[in-house]
Chain A
Amino acid sequence: MTTNGIETVIGLEVHAELLTHAKIFCSCSAAFGGPPNTDVCPVCLGMPGVLPVLNRRVVEFAIRAGLATHCTIAPVSRFARKNYFYPDLPKGYQISMYEAPICTAGWLDVLVDGEPKRIGLTRIHMEEDTGKNIHDAHGDASLVDFNRSCVPLLEIVSEPDMRTVAEAGAYLRTLRSILQYLEICDGNMEEGSFRCDANVSVRPAGATTFGTKVEVKNMNSFRAVEKAIAYEIARQSDALQHGERLVQETRLWDADREETRSMRKKEYADDYRYFPEPDLLPLVIEQKWVDEVRASLPELPAARRERFVREHGLSAYDADVLTQRKDVADYFEAGVAAGAPAKEMANWVTTEILRLVRDEKLDRALVIQEWPITAAQLARLVTLVQQGTINRNTAKALLPKLRGTGRDPAELVQAEGLAQVSDRGALEQAVADVIAKHPAQVEQFRGGKEQVLGFLVGQVMKASRGKANPQLVQELLRAQLAKA
């Protein structure tokens, strides 16, 4: 895809914080949010004489991620030290992987505006996270908290296969979705459990070599990634078109100004002096373990999406929305299992329920803990609407009443007398009353203005305090208006 004869090349590097109980190299809790410097020990503080010991579950999660993205799992992989000085890096080096990562040569299939595209994955490796720096209140010092030090990360590096912002966005969302399904990362960009750096370059269309690569960091949401890449594409294309030289550099996204800025130049670029980590022996992964992990993989998003279309007759769009998060897909299927008709259940989940979830930020965690109502309750509600017992508006109004209770919607409808009025006789009278009260609109309708019918239906609904069956009201109105 080219614009003005210029092609964009994008690669994405994701760091995913893993949902293990303990840290990667020590037995401190990896949980977020403790008071500063409490989830720490001599090992993750880098004290004299300490040594790392690898958490087995981190390896298992890496294998899961590798298998889900069609990578080759290396039978032997090695840890390496990445050496640099920074206050949040206690040992003065980060234990990572360099020449021999655990996973290589994978790929993801993504949908961009409904069209499939395959994006390659260069490598996945394990490493430890750093602590956190914050500025102190007076602004003349920084404060360091090592709770996050040694929390396990997976670094996932894509091939530079993306050509548009949309492809980058689709890749990121698909990757996050996969990691969530695997239950290895909760994918929360705002909270920092899912981080993304972008490599962006441009070149004249048809060129075979890559242009100067710019690394972009500090994007804290999916939208920010998209905006930052778009900004860079524009900036670089502009420079290219004017014959200006582009510098290979790192730029930071400024969310307030909505632009990227060059990072402060450092005297002598950091030389990380990677070398094999002497304190950790080569990681040998037997085929047996890989096979066990493969057998335990859940149904992945793409497969589940296709199955929803096939088995539940959903549209590709609805299936896509429902399967982006595993907990949402699970909720939908629980409702169907409880008797809800699939299409209606899908409709309710993708509109009413997900709106509430997003507004109240209930989707922060990997698995939504508090649904507005349970899948079983929603299934009942949806079924009641489909049967005609209540109308859709009544059902919507019931949501807040059901929330936090275990009540059966049918029971609540009964108790409050909310059942839809579908008695023709009662409704005939109400319809006649409304026709009598609104001669002007009746005139307009008879004159050909179809949309006035909606107003009249609304009046009948109002008179019945929302309980009238709107389809039946419409039918009766048309019938009565036709006479005369």
Chain B
Amino acid sequence: MSALTDLSVREAAARVRRRDVSSVELTRAALARIAAVEPALGAFLTVAGAEALAAAGAIDRRVAAGEDPGPLAGVPVGIKDIICTNGIRTTAASRILQKFVPPYDATVTARLKDAGAVVVGKLNCDEFAMGSSTENSALGTTRNPWDPDRVPGGSSGGSAAAVAARECHASLGTDTGGSVRLPAAFCGVVGLKPTYGRVSRYGVIAYASSLDQVGPIARDVADTALVLQAIAGNDPRDSTSSPRPVPSYAAALDRGVRGLRLGLPREYFVEGMQPEVEAAVRGAVQQLERLGATVQPVSLPHTEYAIATYYLIATAEASSNLARYDGIRYGLRVSEPSLRAMYQRSRAAGFGTEVKRRIMLGTYALSAGYYDAYYLKAQQVRTLIRRDFEQALGTCDALVAPVAPTTAFRFGEKTADPLTMYLFDIFTISVNLAGLPGLSVPCGFDQTGLPIGLQLIGRSFDEETLLRVGAAYEAATDWHAKRPPA
């Protein structure tokens, strides 16, 4: 394994700027690693080798001309295939977009490129980001780099697996109910879901509009902060993106945790958790106390209603967001003489089982006679959940919790009953409902060697505190340095 693919984003970019290494060399190394590892791993749906080398060459020429190509200068990155990339196939891991080539970049894609990053390819995920294991992808299977019989988590499974397996130095995922934090935890890497509105959603194929956020995945907290810095900030193309200025996240990293108050939500330590997961999280809490943080119990009393609330709101929004996939302007069309049949058969052929299930659920929740009982009710409970967090974060600077009840499960283990998979999101989902930021950092391994993640939940637009705590914890531990078997 080439040492180049082991470099952090910071180190790789610095070397490119110093001309110690060229972007083309970094990119070739990444592509070679991808070629070697992909047959077993399956993280990528599209590898854009030619485009990547062309972009890398351009970065190198700029460096040679004395220009600074940006903070991510020449670094190979991967992008979840739910985020549009101009001229590169973007599928949302669905048959319905299997051949779709967007003529536009998502804002986050453009910002990564403006920061000098080199996009090497598009990463596998659950279809339309609907799932917690990437098993719902219609176009490929991604395996956990730590154990090929196990899932990488989802929905951004490819994004986390690729970073863990050193196929790229960082990646972008999206998080609607935990889809960056969960696969990061399962794959032993760092993943951040920013505050809702911190990062633009323009060009991000919508699943649930009021919950989706793009988040960076990298191998350590400082790299994660660097990528966040590149993509965060107001976007005039996204009416829901915040006008708040973006602070320097790097400046936050070294502040330590002395004096910070951390809250432990009692509802997040429940029966049924894998004992090693609970032990690792509690161990991390003790570590943070040793570093100078204080810990107190808090309560998020409406936690038990979060799954229902999420799945009614998210599916309702999704049922509407996915109505545009009708085979008329793009995407799969099944040829039929009648318009009605064309719609029905194209969508039936193009969407997978879980997507259909969620479209049906969401349509039902919005339909006449049921709107008040389901959708409106869920919106009201969402307010109660937000208030829970406001209360808890009134006395604490951040909350500490597990990311998931267990480590990575086996393929097929949770697919028999959809509800089983839904319940797995219990620790991450409320954070999206409240619009708050959440960070997942490695905090241990179970007995079979599978990674365990620690979740930090912060106040609105206070990613700095999360990164600060994550960095301090990381400095005192070495979980993040361990790598999956080659």
B247 within 8 A of A: no
Assess the B203–A50 pair: CB atoms within 8 A: yes
Assess the A53–B324 pair: CB atoms within 8 A: no
B6 within 8 A of A: no
Residues 89-105 of chain A, each 1 if its beta carbon lies under 8 Å from chain B, else 0 = 01111000000000000
Given A49-B84, A271-B367, A273-B367, are A81 and B320 neighbors across the interface (CB < 8 Å)?
Answer: yes
Specify which of A45, A273, A279, A281 is in contact with B371 (CB 8 Å cutoff).
A273
Assess the A273–B202 pair: CB atoms within 8 A: no
B57 within 8 A of A: no
What is the distance, in angstroms, from B124's C-beta to the closest C-beta of chain A? Answer: 17
What is the distance, in angstroms, from B319's C-beta to the closest C-beta of chain A? Answer: 8
**Taking chain A's interface residues, is the majority helix, strand, or loop, or is none over half, making it mixed?**
loop
For the complex, what is the distance from the CA of A281 to the CA of B240, rounded to whole Å? Answer: 7
Specify which of B237, B239, B316, B317 is in contact with A54 (CB 8 Å cutoff).
B239
Q: Which residues of B contact A439 (CB under 8 A)?
A: none
Q: Which residues of A contact B316 (CB under 8 A)?
A: 275
Chain A residue, CB-CB nearest to B313? A278
Residues 247-283 of chain B, each 1 if its beta carbon lies under 8 Å from chain A, else 0 = 0000000000000000000000000000000000000
Assess the A49–B210 pair: CB atoms within 8 A: no
Assess the A46–B329 pair: CB atoms within 8 A: yes
Specify which of A45, A49, A87 is in contact with B206 (CB 8 Å cutoff).
A49
Residues 167-204 of chain A, each 1 if its beta carbon lies under 8 Å from chain B, else 0 = 00000000000000000000000000000000000000
For the complex, what is the distance from the CA of A281 to the CA of B237, rounded to whole Å? Answer: 13
Interface residues in B368-404 by Cβ distance below 8 A to A read: 368, 371, 375
Assess the A83–B320 pair: CB atoms within 8 A: yes
What is the distance, in angstroms, from B12's C-beta to the closest C-beta of chain A? Answer: 29
B204 within 8 A of A: yes
Q: Which residues of A contact B84 (CB under 8 A)?
A: 48-49
Assess the A91–B323 pair: CB atoms within 8 A: yes
Assess the A93–B239 pair: CB atoms within 8 A: no
Q: Which residues of B contact A81 (CB under 8 A)?
A: 320
What is the distance, in angstroms, from B42's C-beta to the closest C-beta of chain A? Answer: 23
What is the distance, in angstroms, from B6's C-beta to the closest C-beta of chain A? Answer: 33
Q: Which residues of B contact A93 (CB under 8 A)?
A: 320, 323
For the complex, what is the distance from the CA of A85 to the CA of B339, rounded to whole Å? Answer: 10
Chain A's interface size range is 20 to 34
**Interface-facing stretch out of B64-72, B101-109, B151-159:** B101-109
For the complex, what is the distance from the CA of A279 to the CA of B319, rounded to whole Å? Answer: 15
Given A83-B366, A92-B323, A93-B323, are A48 and B202 neighbors across the interface (CB < 8 Å)?
Answer: no
Assess the A281–B367 pair: CB atoms within 8 A: no
Chain A residue, CB-CB nearest to B376? A275
B424 within 8 A of A: no
Chain B residue, CB-CB nearest to A146? B329
Q: Which residues of A contact B326 (CB under 8 A)?
A: 85, 87, 92
Assess the A53–B237 pair: CB atoms within 8 A: yes
Q: Which residues of B contact A298 (CB under 8 A)?
A: none
Q: Which residues of A contact B239 (CB under 8 A)?
A: 51-54, 279-281
Interface residues in B166-204 by Cβ distance below 8 A to A read: 201-204
Residues 234-277 of chain A, each 1 if its beta carbon lies under 8 Å from chain B, else 0 = 00000000000000000000000000000000000001010100
Assess the A49–B202 pair: CB atoms within 8 A: yes
What is the distance, in angstroms, from B79's C-beta to the closest C-beta of chain A? Answer: 12
B92 within 8 A of A: yes
Residues 27-65 of chain A, each 1 if its beta carbon lies under 8 Å from chain B, else 0 = 000000000000000100111111111100000000000
For the complex, what is the distance from the CA of A250 to the CA of B446, rounded to whole Å? Answer: 65
Number of inter-chain CB pairs below 8 Å: 94
Assess the B328–A53 pair: CB atoms within 8 A: no
A144 within 8 A of B: yes
Assess the A273–B209 pair: CB atoms within 8 A: no
For the complex, what is the distance from the CA of A24 to the CA of B244, rounded to whole Å? Answer: 25
Assess the A51–B102 pair: CB atoms within 8 A: no
Q: Which residues of A contact B110 (CB under 8 A)?
A: none
What is the distance, in angstroms, from A89's C-beta to the closest C-beta of chain B? Answer: 9
Assess the B329–A49 pair: CB atoms within 8 A: no
B343 within 8 A of A: yes
Q: Which residues of A contact B205 (CB under 8 A)?
A: 48-49
B100 within 8 A of A: yes
For the complex, what is the distance from the CA of A389 to the CA of B319, rounded to whole Å? Answer: 77
Q: Which residues of B contact A47 (CB under 8 A)?
A: 102, 104, 324, 329-330
Assess the B103–A42 pair: CB atoms within 8 A: yes
What is the distance, in angstroms, from A430's C-beta to the closest C-beta of chain B? Answer: 77
Chain B residue, CB-CB nearest to A142? B339
Residues 350-369 of chain B, each 1 if its beta carbon lies under 8 Å from chain A, else 0 = 00000000000001001110
Q: Which residues of A contact B201 (CB under 8 A)?
A: 49, 51
Assess the B209–A278 pair: CB atoms within 8 A: yes
For the complex, what is the distance from the CA of A46 to the CA of B320, rounded to whole Å? Answer: 12
Among A144, A146, A278, A281, find the residue whose CB has the most chain B CB atoms closer than 10 A.
A278
Assess the A50–B202 pair: CB atoms within 8 A: yes
Given A47-B330, A279-B240, are A273 and B324 neighbors across the interface (CB < 8 Å)?
Answer: no
What is the distance, in angstroms, from B203's C-beta to the closest C-beta of chain A? Answer: 4
Given A49-B203, A275-B371, are A144 and B92 neighbors across the interface (CB < 8 Å)?
Answer: no
Chain B residue, CB-CB nearest to A37? B329
Assess the B202–A51 pair: CB atoms within 8 A: yes
Residues 281-319 of chain A, each 1 if its beta carbon lies under 8 Å from chain B, else 0 = 100000000000000000000000000000000000000
What is the distance, in angstroms, from B416's C-beta to the closest C-beta of chain A? Answer: 30
Residues 331-348 of chain B, each 1 if its beta carbon lies under 8 Å from chain A, else 0 = 000000001000100000
For the complex, what is the distance from the CA of A45 to the CA of B206, rounded to whole Å? Answer: 15
For the complex, what is the distance from the CA of A91 to the CA of B319, rounded to whole Å? Answer: 11
For the complex, what is the distance from the CA of A50 to the CA of B103, rounded to whole Å? Answer: 12
Q: Which residues of A contact B478 (CB under 8 A)?
A: none
For the complex, what is the distance from the CA of A83 to the CA of B321, rounded to whole Å? Answer: 10
Q: Which residues of B contact A146 (CB under 8 A)?
A: 329
Q: Which residues of B contact A142 (CB under 8 A)?
A: 339
What is the distance, in angstroms, from B108's C-beta to the closest C-beta of chain A? Answer: 10
Q: Which residues of A contact B320 (CB under 8 A)?
A: 81, 83, 92-93, 273, 275
Q: Which residues of B contact A92 (CB under 8 A)?
A: 320, 322-324, 326
3 residue pairs, one from A and one from B, having the closest CB atoms = A92-B323, A278-B209, A273-B366
Some 16 contacts from A to B, beta carbons below 8 A apart, are A45-B329, A48-B84, A48-B97, A48-B206, A48-B330, A49-B203, A49-B206, A52-B239, A54-B239, A83-B366, A87-B326, A91-B323, A92-B323, A92-B324, A142-B339, A273-B366
Q: Which residues of B contact A (CB under 8 A)?
A: 83-84, 90, 92, 97, 100, 102-104, 106, 201-206, 209-210, 236-240, 316-317, 319-320, 322-324, 326, 328-330, 339, 343, 363, 366-368, 371, 375
Give me 20 other A-B pairs in contact (C-beta within 8 A), A49-B202, A273-B366 excluded. Answer: A46-B324, A46-B329, A48-B97, A48-B100, A48-B206, A49-B201, A49-B203, A50-B203, A83-B319, A83-B323, A83-B366, A85-B343, A90-B324, A93-B323, A144-B328, A271-B368, A273-B367, A278-B210, A279-B240, A280-B239
